[in-house]
Amino acid sequence: MNTNQFGTVTERLDRNHYETDVEQSHITVDQAAARAADAGPLLVRICPAHVYSIQADGTIGVMAAACLECGACLAVAPPGVLSWRYPRSGMGITYREG
């Protein structure tokens, strides 16, 4: 994995401002559909925020709190694998620069 003079992705995400929705995740993965389509590796490398990870048991982990709300994962996911919406009103990333 590349890093640059500004640290790892996780370190960089720490500089962002988020209103974390602790009650609801705006992303859910249909694990069976994901397994059937082998969608894990694709989601892992498409997401610039490293929201997705492959767990030890082969399922896909989702760290929705880090999401940058770009929509790239939804655009590339095989049909039926992802349910992805914008976070609830006022929640999620708050860009201060943009």
Rg (CA), the chain: 14
Cβ pair 7, 83 in contact under 8 A: no
Residue 53, classed as helix, strand or coil, is strand
Residue 57 interacts with, from other proteins, ligand SF4, none (CB under 5-8 Å by kind):
none
Q: For residue 91, give the nearest of 9, 14, 25 by alpha carbon.
A: 25
Judged by CB under 6 A, the chain residues 51 through 80 that form the site for ligand SF4 are: 51, 67-73
CB of 86 to other proteins, least distance (A): 6
Query: Under 8 Å CB-to-CB from 19, ≥6 apart: which residues?
Result: 90, 91, 92, 94
Cβ pair 24, 34 in contact under 8 A: no
Site string for other proteins, 1-40 (x = CB under 8 A): xxxxxxx-x--xx-xx--x---------------------
Is 46 among the residues that bind other proteins (CB under 8 A)? yes
Binding residue for other proteins, selected from 24, 25, 48, 59, defined by CB under 8 A: 48
Please give the residue ranges that form the binding site for other proteins (CB under 8 A).
1-7, 9, 12-13, 15-16, 19, 42, 44-50, 68-72, 74-76, 79, 85-90, 92-98
